[in-house]
Amino acid sequence: MTILSTIIFGVTALSFLEPINAHKTVLGRPNLHWGPKTPGHQFPHSPKRHKTCYVPSCHGSGRHGKNDDAPEILKAFKKCNKGGVVILDEEYTIGSPLDLTFLEAVDVAITGSIKFTNDIDYWVKNSFKYDFQNSSAFWRFGGKDVNIYGGGQGLIDGNGQAWYDAFAAEPTLLRPILLVLDGLKHGSVTGLKMRNSPDWFNLIANSSDILVSNIDIAVKSESKNPAKNGDGWDTFRSDSVVIQDSHVNNSDDCVSFKPNSTNIIVQGMQCNGSHGISVGSLGQYPAEYDIVENIYVYNISMSNASDGARIKVWPGTDTPFEPGLSGGGGAGYVKNVTYDTLYNDNNDWAIEINQCYGQSNQTICDKYPSNMTISDVVFKNMWGTTSTKYDPKVGTLTCSSTEKCINIAAHNISVTDPSGKTPQWICTNMDESLLDINCVSADS
């Protein structure tokens, strides 16, 4: 049976063209749907927009003293705020930061292309900064009732090659995220192509009632220096988010639920080359209390990844992981998480639970167990074949103590290993009566 016949994708967001005048048409807002899993409540209604703002491109002419369309884009958003549509149907270059967190009742139709300059020194100084994991952004959208859509045509290009090369020489380099939703209450991002982000592709932060659908993500380095940390989506301090029906070819988590992510659905995804769909990492900062709760991951095809389903939390003490990334000692919990219907193709682990993320010294892991509690987690309906990396082991569920991992279950798991031996699952401090898998010790 092929993956196409076993993975059933959700409803596609369809779009249409509205005539504006004799010379131009604008891509109309798509009919937004989610499914088959639903968030349990209707998102607020977006009224019809009543004005239109086209954004002219400088096309490298230096209209503003440099190749930068950001001033014209900002002008259009100010003009069409509160009831308009901003049209980006040409080729645009953004060379300065855009703070679009003031928006209300705006649609953004992108049928052209947007590329960010690769002036690394400028962006390091001028991008928007976030304390969490030293993140930064080229631009950010926020406010209320914002729909960004591309009908499968629109392209956002991070122009990441220079960043990949620079990061190889300077691993603490602060690299911008391609698209940030920050403080957006009710919105959508649909029908876009995203290419070569310097860092994460998407961050959804401090937001609620967000639908993401029909996104095509890809990253590729043209040099010996690989793209790093290219997460498809990270959610952070956000509630009621649906991410669905998208293709992701990247270099890190396909989707990652960062601290205080609640009531989130991820469904109908095809992920390749990633680090899986991940809860975490969590517990990185000692002064913070991290929560991830009510997550449903459904109908996923995961290929050539380090993990299929993954939960990762830091140990109970500070741990240096890699340049620019360290942590541990934070507290909190993961609760009510379900991974349902996940196809594995050449993934190193089909399932990984790691309560000592970033630390390879088992003595330290044992001495400083995680302060994070993981409870009410279900893995079910998983199949496929793992990579040869750990053969015949196909997954690892490792907790620091039985008190920190409660009610973790695995049902209808038929993942195989390439050698054809009996698949083995490393189970540490787990209630094995809830695990319908072949558990072995870490030393086996």
Per-residue pLDDT tens digits for 163-215 = 999 999 999 999 999 999 999 999 999 999 999 999 999 999 999 999 999 99
Q: pLDDT above 90 covers what percent of the chain?
A: 85
Number of Cβ within a 10 Å radius of residue 7: 16
Q: DSSP letters along 16-31, please?
A: -EEE-SSS-EEEPPPB
The pLDDT tens digits for 429-441 are 999 999 999 999 9
Q: DSSP letters along 214-228, please?
A: S-EEE---SSSS---
Q: Per-residue pLDDT averaged across 350-356, rounded?
A: 96
- Dist CA 98 CA 296 (whole Å): 33
Q: What is the pLDDT of residue 289?
A: 97
Q: What is the pLDDT of residue 59?
A: 65
Q: What is the pLDDT of residue 60?
A: 54
Confidence of residue 411 (pLDDT cuts 50, 70, 90): very high
Cis geometry, peptide bond prior to residue 392 (ω within 30 degrees of 0): yes
Confidence of residue 34 (pLDDT cuts 50, 70, 90): very high
Q: What is the pLDDT of residue 387?
A: 98
- Dist CA 137 CA 175 (whole Å): 8
Q: What is the pLDDT of residue 278?
A: 98
The pLDDT tens digits for 9-23 are 333 333 444 444 444
Would the pLDDT of 349 be above 50? yes
Q: What is the pLDDT of residue 362?
A: 85
Single out the residue of 396, 403, 312, 393 nearest to residue 359, CA to CA. Answer: 312
Q: What is the pTM of this model?
A: 0.94
The pLDDT tens digits for 167-179 are 999 999 999 999 9
Mean pLDDT, the chain, rounded, equals: 92
User: 55-89: buried (b, 16+ CB within 10 Å) or exposed (e) per residue?
Assistant: bebbeeeeeeeebbbbebbbebbeebbeebbbbbb
Burial class, 414, CB count within 10 angstroms (exposed 0-12 / middle 13-18 / buried 19+): exposed
Q: Is 411 a known active-site residue?
A: no
Q: Per-residue pLDDT averaged across 81-91, rounded?
A: 98
Token pair 């992108």 in the structure block, residue: 110
Q: What is the pLDDT of residue 24?
A: 66
Catalytic residue among 33, 41, 247, 275: 275
The pLDDT tens digits for 377-394 are 999 999 999 999 999 999
Q: What is the pLDDT of residue 26?
A: 78
Q: pLDDT above 70 covers what percent of the chain?
A: 93
For residue 78, what is the DSSP state? H
Q: Per-residue pLDDT averaged across 262-271, rounded?
A: 98
- Dist CA 379 CA 3 (whole Å): 19
Structure tokens at 253: 């988590």
- Report the alpha-carbon angle 275-278-282, nearest 5: 120
The pLDDT tens digits for 103-140 are 999 999 999 999 999 999 999 999 999 989 989 999 99
Sorted by sequence, the CB contacts under 8 Å of residue 334 that are 6+ apart come out as 279, 280, 282, 292, 293, 311, 313, 372, 373, 374, 375, 377
